[in-house]
Structure 1
Amino acid sequence: MNPISILIDKIHSENLWDKEIQLKRNEYLKVKGTIDTNIYLVESGSLRIFVVDEYEEHTIRFGYKNNLIASLDSFLNEKPSELYIQALKKTNLKVISKENYTNFIASSAENRKLWLSILESFVLQQMERERDILTSSPMERYTRVLKRSPQLFQEIPNKHIASYLRMTPETLSRIKKS
């Protein structure tokens, strides 16, 4: 069982979720310039995390069933973030506040080890993604993501996957056909 599944099971078993929320399609959970220190469990639906520059949106992460998502920078430093989090379809989330989460993590050495393992995994994923964007061809990026997260292609619209892969929707379409 992976560390995130173990963490979710422990939070469930200790009944630590603060509340549940539902987002409509295209509704924002978080917008640029706001602070959000919650962690969310996606029970159904899907979301994207993205930033906007003066020209376009850049998708940096997705969340779908059984994923934990957060505005991690805001969660860690409790400052406003440049991130947007938007529902791509009707989405149900469970919410745990930073205070409840950090109390839970601090409550045992096993929980601290689990959190550290999750953070380490996240850092390694981000490094792999950065390396891919800088050094891999569009086909290589597509193949790697398809192998790592095949569910992504059932849950997420192609235009957002293309943004995540740093290619145009047309390039993604050509790659999928080949």
Structure 2
Amino acid sequence: MDASLQSYATLLRRFSDIPDSEWQWFAARLHARTLRKYDYFIRSGEQARFIAFCAEGLFRFYYDTENGNELNKSFCGKGDFVASFHSLLLDSPSRLHIQALEDSELWVISYADYIGLYDRHVCWERLGRRMAERLFIKKEQRERELLLCSAEERYRLFVNENPELHERIPLYHIASYLGITPVALSRIRRRINLG
């Protein structure tokens, strides 16, 4: 088995005990996809049809504002799932863009095949529930930080929780994610001696 596919199996089995026969059925429906830096997994306005697992690389999830600004919602890297869940769950156009920030490798499955898993074996329902719980916790933590933490506290949390990503993401993207200007981020970094 491909090493990145093996790491995907290992990750999913941390969430649910997936029998080998179920894994083989699932793996047969996966296909590899390569995205180059700045390529899009999905653009706002497109209908999502796939869920992916990031085997290598880095992505940003962002929204466009009416005045043409880009607001970063989140980042994901190796070991994370890549999807426009709003679009998939509501069968509506995506409201966000998902863009590769580095050359990236994905394992992709159609949403139709993914949903079909739930009727095959209880392991897939357990996996889906635990993935949803993980996403909910991440979303709740992000909301808490935006509501209760200062910009400096949000930056420190970002650096501490994402030490490997921090060095790979351009500072203007981090500033957008934190809800501040690049100038404000530069001041914070100088104040805490990071650059």
The correspondence for 1:25, drawn from 3, 22, 37, is 37
Change (3 A) 1:172 1:97: same
Match of 1:82 in 2: 95
- Structure-2 separation of matches of 1:6 and 1:44: 16
Per the normalisation by structure 1, the TM-score is 0.87
The correspondence for 1:5, drawn from 8, 11, 26, is 11
Match of 1:128 in 2: 141
Change (3 A) 1:8 1:27: farther
Paired residue type of 2:51: I
The correspondence for 1:52, drawn from 61, 64, 76, is 64
8 A contact 2:63–2:72 mirrored in 1? yes
Match of 2:128 in 1: 115
Match of 1:37 in 2: 49
8 A contact 2:87–2:95 mirrored in 1? no
Structure 1 runs of 4+ off > 3 angstroms? 7-13
SS of the equivalent of 1:145 reads: helix
8 A contact 1:64–1:155 mirrored in 2? no
8 A contact 2:175–2:181 mirrored in 1? yes
Match of 1:166 in 2: 179
Match of 2:162 in 1: 149
What is the CA deviation profile of residues 112-135 of structure 1, one whole-angstrom value per residue up to 9, with x for unaligned ones?
Answer: 122112112211211221221122
Structure 2: 5+ residue stretches without partners: 1-9
- Structure-2 separation of matches of 1:158 and 1:94: 28
CA RMSD of aligned residues (A): 2.4
Paired residue type of 1:53: T
SS of the equivalent of 1:128 reads: helix
Match of 2:4 in 1: none
Structure 1: 5+ residue stretches without partners: none
8 A contact 1:17–1:94 mirrored in 2? no
Deviation of residue 8 (structure 1)? 8.4
8 A contact 2:59–2:101 mirrored in 1? yes
Change (3 A) 1:117 1:147: same
Deviation of residue 7 (structure 1)? 5.0
8 A contact 1:71–1:83 mirrored in 2? yes
Per the normalisation by structure 2, the TM-score is 0.80
The percentage of aligned residue pairs carrying the same residue is 30
8 A contact 2:34–2:105 mirrored in 1? yes
Aligned residues: 176
